[in-house]
Amino acid sequence: MDAKNPKTSDREYYLFALRIIGDFGVNIAVPAVLAALLGNWLDEKYNRYPLFIILCLITAFLFTVKIIQKKAKKYGDEYQKM
Q: Using alpha carbons only, how large is the chain's radius of gyration in Å?
A: 19
Domain boundaries, the chain: 29-82
Q: What is the pTM of this model?
A: 0.78
Residue-level length of the chain:
82
Distance CA 49, CA 61 (A): 19
**Tens digit of pLDDT per residue, the chain (82 long)?**
444 555 557 889 999 999 999 999 999 999 999 999 999 999 999 999 899 999 999 999 999 999 999 999 999 999 888 7
